[in-house]
Amino acid sequence: MPVFEHITSCPSTSARLGRVHTHHGAFDTPAFMPVGTQATVKSVCPEELVDMGAQIILGNTYHLYLRPGHKLIERLGGLHRFMAWSGPILTDSGGFQVFSLAQFRKIQEKGAVFRSHIDGSLHELTPELAIEIQESLGSDIMMCLDTCIPYPASEKEVRESTALTTRWAKRCLDARTRPELLLFPIVQGGMDRNLRARHTEELCSMGFDGIALGGLSVGEPKEMLFKMIEVSRPLIPAKYPVYVMGVGTPEDIVNGVARGVDMFDCVMPTRNARNGMLFTSTGHIVIKNACHAEDPAPVDEKCQCYTCRNFSRAYLRHLFIARELLAYRLNTIHNLHFYLNLMKQIRKALAEAKFAEFYRDFMSAQAQK
């Protein structure tokens, strides 16, 4: 069985319907992966994620290495048993988290030296250790350690960072001991079209199981993000699932699907929920705003999530203003349901050969908000 099973495509766009096969089962694409950084998708249970339609979730190498430790998780039966999630899990390599530490890290040929954000202890994350951690966790999809750079960055910085990412990808491939766990490298190249193209082709020639596009959503203009996807995507063989990391808004996801992307993740639905911003079919709302104080309507009349079936905007505003823990749970349930339902709608449109119509209607609705 190939890693990626192609089902159908949209003839007028690059969107495609498929299925990715992993050690812990298959998931349908295009897919959105709820982010469970520290072995939990914040405030919701695995059973609730399944009920919402989640088929794969994401964990993080950096955070689980620091706390509670990958060897402890391995002794307790691996990440799936540890967090009671039976479906596929993808783990980020930790490269972006090390990048975000800024003044607390130093990138060297051997690896990334950094101080823990928890206790200030000194660590070195190498490509070999990144693979060791992910194999101990039992990640169904492991990510190669990469070097992420900010936007904007100098030509020299982009060139050197991209070359180091390639060398680290080769070391990750060599360090792999569990072939049943898939391994994706991460395309870098800043916003340089030629460098992005060369790096994509180079990584595709190395024998990985899929391809991720990284270094995006780091402050660049939105149109530049889409241009970088358009540079890399046609160069990736059809047999590979394509994952764009850290993207994004509902509009970003629909645009990404139209450009041939299969997999997405983003903290936006969970983080925004905790900050009181809720996604709806007519645009987002900020639940703490006074206009919701006496509103008996649900967050979204078209939504069938547990939150919208049972609670009013007025009640959700009360919970949020009072800082009740239930506010974060109910908001998160709604936002995750919104994202996962969006993916269901996309897959349905592709299966019925109506994606071009779906795309047109969706973008038209966004323009009117």
Cα(186)–Cα(252) distance, integer angstroms: 19
pTM beyond 0.95: the answer is: yes
Coil, helix or strand at residue 114:
strand
Alpha helices in the chain, H assignment, sequence order: 46-52, 61-66, 70-75, 79-83, 95-100, 127-137, 155-175, 193-204, 222-232, 250-258, 268-274, 306-310, 313-321, 325-351, 355-367
Cα(84)–Cα(145) distance, integer angstroms: 26
For residue 96, pLDDT beyond 90: no
Q: Is the residue at 108 inside a domain?
A: yes
DSSP code per residue over 91-113:
EE-SHHHHHHTGGGEEE-SS-EE
Most confident of 27-31, 100-104, 118-122, 245-249: 27-31
Q: Is the residue at 324 inside a domain?
A: yes
Count Cβ atoms below 10 Å from residue 147 Cβ, excluding itself: 23
pLDDT digit string, tens, across residues 109-131: 999 998 998 999 999 999 999 99
For residue 67, pLDDT beyond 80: yes
Coil, helix or strand at residue 76:
coil
- Tell me which residue has tokens 């307790």: 76
- Examine the domain organization and report whether 53 and 102 are in the same domain: yes
For residue 368, the model assigns a pLDDT of 73
Type of residue at 76: L
> Which of 266, 288, 323 finishes a domain?
266
Cα(335)–Cα(236) distance, integer angstroms: 32
Share the mean pLDDT of the chain: 96
For residue 102, the model assigns a pLDDT of 66
Please, which pLDDT band fits residue 369 given cuts at 50, 70 and 90? low
- Examine the domain organization and report whether 198 and 281 are in the same domain: no
- Examine the domain organization and report whether 256 and 310 are in the same domain: no
Q: Cα angle vertex 262, ends 256, 265, to 5°? A: 75
- Catalytic residues, by residue number, are 92, 265
> Which of 214, 245, 266 finishes a domain?
266
pLDDT digit string, tens, across residues 192-243: 999 999 999 999 999 999 999 999 988 899 999 999 999 999 999 999 999 9
Cα(356)–Cα(125) distance, integer angstroms: 44
Q: Is the residue at 368 inside a domain?
A: no
- Examine the domain organization and report whether 256 and 293 are in the same domain: no
> Which of 251, 266, 281 finishes a domain?
266
Please, which pLDDT band fits residue 94 given cuts at 50, 70 and 90? confident
Domain with 312 in it: 268-359
For residue 148, pLDDT beyond 90: no
Q: What is the mean pLDDT of residues 43-64?
A: 97
Contacts of 39 (CB under 8 A, 6+ apart): 59, 64, 73, 79, 82, 83
Q: What is the mean pLDDT of residues 155-168?
A: 97
Cα(248)–Cα(265) distance, integer angstroms: 7
For residue 168, pLDDT beyond 90: yes
Say how many domains are in the chain. 2
Q: What is the mean pLDDT of residues 95-119?
A: 85
- Examine the domain organization and report whether 33 and 23 are in the same domain: yes
Please, which pLDDT band fits residue 150 given cuts at 50, 70 and 90? confident
pLDDT digit string, tens, across residues 291-335: 999 999 999 999 999 999 999 999 999 999 999 999 999 999 999
For residue 103, pLDDT beyond 80: no
Count Cβ atoms below 10 Å from residue 283 Cβ, excluding itself: 11
